A and B are shown apart, each in its own frame.
Chain A
Amino acid sequence: MNLLVCFKIVPDFDKVLPSDWEDFSLRTNLFYTKKTYNVFDESALELGLSLCESSNRRAPGSATCTAVTVAQELSPAVKKHLYAVGFDRVVKIESIQTEFAPRRMAGLLREFITEGRFDLVLTGVQSGYADTGLVPPLLASMLGRPFVSHAETLCFYDGQLCVVHQGDFGRLRTTLELPAVVSVGNSPAALRAATLRAQLMAGKREVETVFPAEDFFWFKEPVFFTEKAEKDCRFFEEKDAAERLFAHLWGGGSE
């Protein structure tokens, strides 16, 4: 089995200054924030790695695990970490404009997936930054593969992929034949830490860079605006709180 996990490095939003949120655009320079794995992708990376490991335990050499990102740059620290935790390949599909272009992202990934003959493709359900949540379903439809979203855990059972995922009415268990695309949602999996020794060995390995054949497209930057809805907070205490609240909400109360 050739397994592929798609991931994206995003700014740590907790570190974004309130002033930058107020005036946000794609040109807002967030250089000062820590860069980190998109949270859903991080779970997908761990689930992919664990799945590969369990396959290889059962039949040594039967599974490979590749991590791919579409980006302009990939930091040495991320590359080192991914190799050190056990990914066989770390690939960067070089591209400049990656935000708000889901069709193009899916197109670039499809090309790579088709050429690399990946049986199982994992993605995060969406990116926290400039997210549309459209890449995984678009990718599945372009590949013409079955698709399950919001996965929490994955395992192989009787030669089939067994996915526990969040549905509209609770948790579901779905079995799939490969090839397939699965997007990972609120999974408890967190990408494991890599030991310094493994990082040292991994430091020597390079990221594979793929240059897409044709990467021209027309991009219109979306316009952001902040909804400035007034919020009001009042406390209604004492015995007649309910009546006073009622009067305030519906009776034009002045409290």
Chain B
Amino acid sequence: MEKSALIAGLEALLGKDRVLTDEQVILDCSKDYIGFRVYERFDGRFDVPRAACVVKPKNTNEVSAALRFLNEYKVDTVPRTGGSSVTLGLEPQEGGVILDGSDMNEIIGLNEYDMMVTVRCGTPLAYLENYLNERGYTTGHQPQSLPMAQVGGLVATRSIGQFSTLYGGIEDLLMGLEAVLPCGEVVRIKNNPRRSVGPDLRHLFIGSEGMLGFITEATLKIFKYKPEDRWMNAYAIRHMKDGLALFREIMVEGYRPAVMRLHDEVEVETLFEGVAPDEYNLLLFVAEGPKPVADATGAFIDEAIRKYDYVDLGKKPVESWLVTRNDTCDDMDRPKYYKMRAVADTCEISAPWSVIGEIHSAVRERMPEELDNLVTVGGHSSHSYVQGTNIYFTFGYFLGMKGGEYARPDYMHVVKIIMEETLKRGGSIAHHHGSGKYRTQWMPEEHGSSYTLLYKLKEALDPNGIMNKGVLLVERE
């Protein structure tokens, strides 16, 4: 479809003020925070496909009208809310449309008796969390991108928060939702504590990364918020494997601290230099909920750690982490690493207890062998389950001697190592950031024989293939 006809058609449906064609607005809305893109932006490169416009609907009807039109004319469409994607998930197709739900930002209703809150997709999580905290509640969802992300994107990416070991990921917190299918049809999934009425349809949208429809509304569980009753403590532990064994024991014995973080000795050097003794790993714990439960969880941890080589660091490192844990969001548009001529980023995977330590070691061993410009590779476990945990790798490489054109190839080399070492041992290649457009090539191996189901879903819900091309699914001829 001709660009002018596309814009005129959308303006006729939603009004001129809802269809933005300004070059800078389009660039800003196409901005993704994957490490190499951040570097490239400061380096003056911006090789991102240009969308024809950004459409900002005010309500579900407008989303529906826009999608019906875009579907009819087979226009590539990328949903967007908070814009904190780190996976290229937000980058549009050339000449396509960015459907931005960030103006749909409203808390529709707080139900204190049934303990849930309903919001529109563009509601900033930070706003919602403050609103709830003031009333003595929390969503329990505290991703590091809390100051940036909005509810639609959080559901669409299958996100997780730093307090997940107690509250779970968004899949455990979402009660029901409203979404608009690519054909413009509006579907609602009602809010109930549990149902046995067929496959759980919420999961069509949780983690769909905008490729099956546009999420317009979500209802989230809420919990009592009592930070004054928290138990917290930090420890240094000599060996990473001991830290992982401790985490496993805590989970298997049935304790659920909200926060349980184990940073390896490399991350101690890069993120917490001087806080733990040299060569030690760092453990941060927060237990919350009713005070006796938090205290009992703390007492167990304090006892269980004694069989290892450890140092008790008290609660100040945790208190400080709690206050500053999301500050990195303020740096996302600053040339902090660019000034060092380096690219720095993270990549998260998960695996059962039996192999997670091996994946961590294998990645840390292989990366310096293959990248002579590697500056750092470390990792932490921050979301644990009875059966296993995640590792969130942090890495950086130096481009000083190579030049900015290597930002992407070196990045993908790093990711390839992490993906391969994880898949080789049966782990999962993405714990919470999603596939986006940069991990898609590993999705066939990740899903194996079940991958065909994703194509079938796509064909059924988005037969014209207009929604977020390139995420999750490898393009077929």
Contact = CB atoms under 8 A, between A and B. Distances in A.
17 contacts: A15-B324, A16-B320, A17-B319, A18-B323, A31-B313, A32-B319, A34-B271, A34-B275, A75-B273, A78-B273, A193-B337, A193-B340, A193-B342, A193-B396, A193-B400, A196-B368, A196-B374
A195 B374 contact: yes
A14 interface: yes
A197 B374 CA distance: 8
Interface string B335-349: 011011110000000
B372 A195 contact: yes
Nearest to A15: B320
A36 interface: yes
Contacts of B400: 192-193
Contacts of A197: 368, 372, 374
Given A192-B341, A195-B373, A196-B368, A17 B316 contact: yes
Q: Which of A188, A192, A194, A196 has the most C-beta atoms of chain B within 10 angstroms of its own C-beta?
A: A196
Chain A: interface size category: 20 to 34
Given A77-B273, A193-B375, A196-B375, A32 B317 contact: yes
Nearest to B313: A32
Contacts of B320: 15-17, 32-33
A212 interface: no
B278 interface: yes
Contacts of B316: 17, 31-32
A16 B321 CA distance: 10
B324 A32 contact: no
Binding site secondary structure of chain B: mixed
A33 B327 CA distance: 14
A32 to B, nearest CB: 4
A191 interface: yes
B454 to A, nearest CB: 38
A189 B339 CA distance: 7
A190 interface: yes
A191 B319 contact: no
Interface of B: 234, 269, 271-275, 278, 313-314, 316-317, 319-320, 323-324, 327, 336-337, 339-342, 368, 372-377, 396-398, 400
A61 interface: no
A139 B438 CA distance: 54
A197 B314 CA distance: 35
A68 B336 CA distance: 25
Given A31-B275, A193-B398, 16 more contacts: A17-B320, A31-B313, A33-B275, A33-B320, A34-B272, A34-B274, A36-B273, A75-B273, A77-B269, A77-B273, A188-B339, A193-B337, A193-B340, A195-B372, A195-B375, A195-B398
Given A16-B320, A17-B316, A190-B339, A35 B274 contact: yes
Q: Which of B274, B313, B374 has the most C-beta atoms of chain A within 10 angstroms of its own C-beta?
A: B274
Contacts of B373: 195
B340 A192 contact: yes
A144 interface: no
A193 to B, nearest CB: 4
A196 B271 CA distance: 16
A163 to B, nearest CB: 20
Interface string A125-150: 00000000000000000000000000
Contacts of A78: 273
A32 B234 CA distance: 10
B274 A31 contact: yes
Contacts of A34: 271-275
A196 B371 CA distance: 9
A244 B420 CA distance: 67
Given A76-B278, A192-B340, A196-B368, A14 B398 contact: no
A62 B376 CA distance: 32
Interface in A13-55: 14-18, 31-36
Contacts of B317: 32
Given A14-B327, A33-B320, A193 B341 contact: yes
A191 B273 contact: no
B339 A196 contact: no
A204 to B, nearest CB: 16
Nearest to B316: A32
Contacts of A194: 375, 398
Nearest to B274: A35
Nearest to A189: B339
B364 to A, nearest CB: 10
Interface string A193-229: 1111100000000000000000000000000000000
B27 to A, nearest CB: 24
Contacts of A36: 273
Contacts of A188: 339
